[in-house]
Structure 1
């Protein structure tokens, strides 16, 4: 099924990018990947003559301003039910829908409270005043049903977070249905990963 990108949503997201905080620029989430398992022995580095002509700047040339790269650290529990990504600019938690809600429901289950509480504590710890809560589904069922369900689930998580964080934190709540999949919807394992709620927030400068 073709991936659709909503155009009536106040948060404009270019094709090929995953949802992000308003005003944030950069490439979308690269998704899940595995390190290569065929790494051999490293070869000795090539010797470089620092005085070589080809390494000198041309007359009048200047070095570019230094910049800090957006380095990302990813941790995931053994079952893949919860994933945390930390970069130099933001933190994002991804929770599979099954650990928060019963099937086809937006009412949090008994185990959701502890997970949402832990996220609220991290938001409070980092002093973030702006939080994204985005809901997603797989591509089974109609697009419109997925849109409503993903929005209701995102709202349910936002309600719990707001109760713990108080009025000083603002939220952006969206439901994206089957848009922006992180895995293959042709397999149950992939669909399970796509049924998720993402909570992200910027780090303080």
Structure 2
């Protein structure tokens, strides 16, 4: 087989560099907001294809990939699963995992975290984010400590189940990135959560 042209080889190496999975980073470094993902490049479309049936003088808009999202809430909103083309995210309310103002896991929390570990294995994910969040009651500094400790507790359980083949990023965000209105009791309850997210695997192979 003839060697690949230099331009094609450089392009392939550049693509590999851009799409490589990020390594875990220190907690004091910058981090993308939770749920941030990069999508695949848009498909190429032949604007001269007769099957498009464009009107005279019409042109195609630039192609783009639409990120399909599915959100499912279970147990009255205590558990939330969000699926996109690129990733899976589980959000568990703090009340179902921990006693009030505590980072010690409830006994019943372990089975829920183990179910997430099973999904991580199913998706063949080797990179997992575990992020903790609080509501806006109390001080921001206290929220940072508590949200980080809760994320670490969930991480410890996941790590003990998954073994050493998974890289974790563990962070506490206090009241940042709320998913509901902090002015209501129900909204604050949803914002007190731990999110576990990981890339979606290729399940066809």
TM-score, normalised on structure 2? 0.73
- Which structure has the highest helix share of the two? 2
- Match of 2:76, SS state, is coil
Deviation at 1:110, TM superposition (A): 1.4
1:100 paired residue number: 97
Distance (Å, rounded) in 1 between the aligned partners of 2:137 and 2:181: 12
- What secondary structure does 1:53 align onto? coil
Q: Which segments of 5 or more consecutive residues in structure 1 lack a partner in the other structure?
A: 1-7, 27-49
Structure 2 counterparts to residues 109-148 of structure 1, below 5 A? 109-148=106-145
Q: CA deviation at 1:54?
A: 4.2
Q: CA RMSD in A?
A: 2.0
Instruction: Report deviation, 1:63.
Output: 7.4
Aligned length: 163
Measured after TM superposition, the shift of residue 204 of structure 1 is: 2.6
Pairs within 5 Å for 1:1-205: 9-13=28-32, 18-20=33-35, 24-25=37-38, 50=53, 52-55=55-58, 57=59, 64=62, 67-205=64-202
Offset of 1:51 from its aligned partner?
Answer: 6.5
Give me the whole-angstrom Cα distance separating, in 2, the residues matched to 1:180 and 1:174.
Answer: 13
The change in CA–CA distance for 1:140 and 1:51 in structure 2 (over 3 A counts) is closer
**Change in 2 beyond 3 A, CA 1:99/1:51:** closer
* Unpaired runs of at least 5, structure 2: 1-26, 40-52
Give yes or no for contact 2:91–2:193 (8 Å, CA) kept in 1. Answer: yes
Q: Distance in 1 between matches of 2:31 and 2:80?
A: 25
What whole-Å deviation, never above 9, does each CA across 1:12-52 have from its counterpart, x for those lacking one? 33xxxx4236xx347xxxxxxxxxxxxxxxxxxxxxxx574
User: How far apart, CA to CA, are the structure 2 residues paired with 1:51 and 1:80?
Assistant: 46
- How far apart, CA to CA, are the structure 2 residues paired with 1:12 and 1:175? 11
